Structure 1
Amino acid sequence: MTHSPGYRVLDKDLGRIGHAEVAQMHAFRPVWRLGLLVLALVGGLLVAMAVSGAAPGVLAIGAGLVVAAWLGMAIGANDVANSLGPAVGAGAIGLLPGLALVALAGVAGAVLAGGAVSARLAAGIVQLAPVAGDPRAPLVMVAALVAAAIWITMATGIGLPVSTSHSIVGGIAGAGAVAFGLSAVAWGTLAMIASVWVATPVVSGGLAGALLILLRIKVVKAPDRAAAALRWLPPLVGLMVGLFSAYVLLLVNRQLGLSVIVGAAVLPALAGHLLTRRAVRRELAAHPRKPGIKPLLRPALLMAVVILGFAHGANDVGNIAGPLSVILSGQGLSAQIGLVPVLVLVCGGLAIATGTLLFGRRLVHMVGSGITRLNAGRAFCVSLATAVTVLAASGMGLPVSTTHVAVGGVFGVGFAREWLDRRPGSRAEALPADETRRRILVRRSHVVTITAAWLVTLPVTGALGALACMLVLRVAGR
């Protein structure tokens, strides 16, 4: 029996995500090998400190900086494809300029919006403020960083995609429990973060699906696609630019009034509207009868690159800056625990940017190929929904997995497209029972994989953090 190609819309997208994960694993090999070297270096450092009897503070700073630098590069290398792949594939921007743009956006996100997540990881998972000045506090963060590095390196080696954010949270909880007791761990905060890990893919899926429905009804399936594109796309991009500008202004100065923020955001919104209108007109002039969706969406995809890169930096920098701020505070080189200096955020952002620039080219090339890439329309919906969801989580100081949020967006656009195909007048055939069963199995396998990734990561990194903390405390004589 031959079935309509529309039956496999979501399955194809999920398959592409699976191919992308495989491609990421292969492209990530240089970072993985560097991770093995870092772990060996930290192990040697621990042995040297134990033999020489050096001060624990030197141990904490040395090991912490080495592991944090590697984690930053790993984050930058692994997440750049989520931001840049769709835009490069659609021809919205070249690979090298795109890498530079994502790197700059990530640093900006780290500096302007990374403080909340960093502070949560520094003092919200384990209650370190009551023990400020205790030499064990920096060692807890060293152990957490080492535990996260071990798990990410192991998981990459066996082909299991895991989240750096999840790994750091588990490592901090396990190490803190060993150093200060189970009562020092904020179990309520851990439960809240875990529930957010479940909720954010659902939220992203809903946003992505709603955006796809809007584009499909108002532009793609409009009787006059050219007129519809000119009517809807420039305002959409202008709104994106305006809201993002208002968000950044609020981060820069929270004392600004609503009228000032709205007024200041009008100019960039207008610029985004006019530039997109010009780009759409250019495409309509070249293809007046039936313009392609990919060229029409190039300005929107380019803006999505900036927003998603900013969101990555805002959320993921906490994995580095949070623990580092505690390590440095133990030596009097940083403010009190829970207050993350701007310089630490800058350094974390630069580490992520370095990974993007050094290792991102190969990954974007592989993930952005025709085999693994979503089409321009669906990629735009997923990218924007992911960025909005991650930025909202960052604003609340909650570390989340960008990749899991993006996969939630893929589910959302897939279900939305199928719903559109089932509407009256869509001329879609009834879905056969065997096809329904097959697709349920396909989707269930992806849900199980995603769920297992974070369910396994938290206890495993908690155990690794506990073991690493016992070793570090013993070496340091604590």
Structure 2
Amino acid sequence: MVDLATLATLAIAGLASLFMAWAIGAGSSGSTPFAPAVGANAISVMRAGLVVGILGFLGAVLQGANVTEAVGNDLVGGVAITATAAIVGLLTAAALVAVGVFAGYPIATAFTVTGAVVGVGLALGGDPAWAKYREIAALWVATPFVGGGTAYLTARLLREERVPERLLTAGLAGVVGALVVNIGFAALGPEGGQGSIAGALTREFLALSPPAMGAIGVRVAVTVALALLAATALHYDTGRDPEAGQRHFLLVLGGLVAFSAGGSQVGLAIGPLVPLLDEGLSIPLSAVLVGGGLGLLAGSWTGAPRMIKALAQDYSNLGPRRSIAALIPSFAIAQIAVAFGIPVSFNEIIVSAIVGSGYAAGGAGVSTRKMAYTVLAWVGSLALALGVGYGAFLAVDTVV
């Protein structure tokens, strides 16, 4: 039986989580996925905010468990995040993200939430989770180089006159298709787990008639077949109208990145609540994911257009080719983060890819000054969130 004081504290923690979800939806997960598409004039700012909100909600429900559990349980060892600590951490991070939204600078949500949760966890007397920190740092450091480098190379290939653009674009669609059919979804996995489209089809084929090639061979064959289907569909589309085909591909990529953003970013909002779910309430994680997804949806619809405009117009003047080049590595990196349960900044992913694709055209439209301020904001937000979270929890704990 939960007493009224505990119930009230948990309710406040839930509201803080919803506020964090709104701030994320208005900032990174709501603005970054469709920023390249808006920059390429493939979709309007307001329509992008509407679509990204719906897809982000679906991603949160179907893919949000891994990062949510990592943020809730893996950032600090030896202690469990209390309701008071969750409130302090979430409000600290949300305030910093909200300042970034209204100032027009993309504060890295993953940096602020990770710093705040680690800060309050250490203030509780927890131990640093060095193994997890190394895993997180490796992805954070690699993202600008891998994402930006891949976007640069892809954009250069798309601009290469000796390479047939229609065939290359279809090949990229095949690569994206292969990734899509192998990412995890809660609806396709066992109870409490995730499964992929390729995995589900492989199981069906094996159940009908076990082939000589074995499970791995069947999965490879399924993946190749579906990838060829995606490539053929885009090849046909671009054959009818090259510009329309590029826009359609760009919008599909934006949708995939928006879906991935929901799966990753919802954990930053509701992860600190995970240790509280067993405190006599027995609330299933799936229900909390739905609540977090609704928070992202509200943020995307109410606050994202401002940041979409900032990213689409201030960082690089993008065309369809460079936008496609930016979104493909963004989708891949996001899904790696979701699979391994690593909190990752979508601002870092998208901005790095936008800059990489922009430099493929000689750096046209890339604002070096804006990028320098953005990087400083990322680093500063991590340090500031950790320090403020640590100090704020000690102060609140002393008073309470």
TM over 0.5: yes
Query: Aligned equivalents of 2:396 and 2:15: distance in 1?
Result: 15
Query: Aligned equivalents of 2:374 and 2:292: distance in 1?
Result: 27
Alpha-carbon offset, residue 154 of structure 1: 4.3
Alpha-carbon offset, residue 161 of structure 1: 3.5
Q: Cα gap change, 1:454/1:86 in structure 2, threshold over 3 Å: closer, same or farther?
A: closer
Residue 35 of structure 2 is aligned to residue 85 of structure 1: yes
Query: Aligned equivalents of 1:471 and 1:261: distance in 2?
Result: 55
Q: Tell me what 2:155 maps to.
A: 212
Structure 2 counterpart of 1:186, which letter?
A
Structure 2 counterpart of 1:142, which letter?
I
Q: Tell me what 1:277 maps to.
A: 235
8 Å Cα contact 2:315-2:355 kept in structure 1: no
Alpha-carbon offset, residue 411 of structure 1: 3.4
User: Which of 117, 122, 125 is 2:75 aligned to?
Assistant: 125
Query: Aligned equivalents of 1:153 and 1:361: distance in 2?
Result: 14
Alpha-carbon offset, residue 232 of structure 1: 2.8
Q: Tell me what 1:433 maps to.
A: none
Residue 364 of structure 2 is aligned to residue 454 of structure 1: no
8 Å Cα contact 1:246-1:264 kept in structure 2: no
Q: Percent identity?
A: 25
Query: Aligned equivalents of 1:192 and 1:370: distance in 2?
Result: 32
Q: Tell me what 1:138 maps to.
A: 83
8 Å Cα contact 1:82-1:383 kept in structure 2: no
Alpha-carbon offset, residue 64 of structure 1: 1.5
Residues 380-411 of structure 1: CA distance to partner in whole angstroms, max 9, x if unpaired?
A: 11122222112212222111211122222233
8 Å Cα contact 2:23-2:97 kept in structure 1: no
Residues 220-262 of structure 1: CA distance to partner in whole angstroms, max 9, x if unpaired?
A: x24xx8xx23333233223312321222468642775444544
Query: Aligned equivalents of 1:131 and 1:328: distance in 2?
Result: 15
Structure 2 counterpart of 1:473, which letter?
D
Structure 2 counterpart of 1:247, which letter?
I
Q: Cα gap change, 1:95/1:241 in structure 2, threshold over 3 Å: closer, same or farther?
A: farther
Residues 16-61 of structure 1: CA distance to partner in whole angstroms, max 9, x if unpaired?
A: xxxxxxxxxxxxxxxxxxxxxxxxxxxxxxxxxxxxxx85523432
Gaps of 5+ in 1: 1-53, 285-293, 336-340, 422-438
User: Which of 105, 114, 117 is 1:169 aligned to?
Assistant: 114
Q: Tell me what 1:115 maps to.
A: 65
User: Which of 319, 338, 356 is 1:394 aligned to?
Assistant: 338
8 Å Cα contact 1:175-1:469 kept in structure 2: yes
Q: Cα gap change, 1:398/1:82 in structure 2, threshold over 3 Å: closer, same or farther?
A: same
Q: Tell me what 1:31 maps to.
A: none
Residues 180-207 of structure 1: CA distance to partner in whole angstroms, max 9, x if unpaired?
A: 25xx232443344234322211110121
Structure 1 counterpart of 2:380, which letter?
V
Number of paired residues?
374
Q: Tell me what 1:17 maps to.
A: none
Structure 2 counterpart of 1:272, which letter?
A
8 Å Cα contact 2:337-2:344 kept in structure 1: yes
Q: Cα gap change, 1:191/1:306 in structure 2, threshold over 3 Å: closer, same or farther?
A: same
Q: Tell me what 1:193 maps to.
A: 136
Structure 1 counterpart of 2:113, which letter?
I
Alpha-carbon offset, residue 417 of structure 1: 4.0
Residue 261 of structure 2 is aligned to residue 312 of structure 1: yes
Quote the RMSD (CA, aligned, Å): 3.3
Query: Aligned equivalents of 1:411 and 1:462: distance in 2?
Result: 28
Q: Which has the larger radius of gyration?
A: 1
Alpha-carbon offset, residue 305 of structure 1: 1.0
Query: Aligned equivalents of 1:302 and 1:154: distance in 2?
Result: 29
Q: Cα gap change, 1:131/1:401 in structure 2, threshold over 3 Å: closer, same or farther?
A: closer
8 Å Cα contact 2:26-2:299 kept in structure 1: yes
Query: Aligned equivalents of 1:363 and 1:448: distance in 2?
Result: 18
Alpha-carbon offset, residue 167 of structure 1: 0.9
Gaps of 5+ in 2: 204-214
Q: Cα gap change, 1:203/1:299 in structure 2, threshold over 3 Å: closer, same or farther?
A: same
Q: Cα gap change, 1:405/1:371 in structure 2, threshold over 3 Å: closer, same or farther?
A: closer
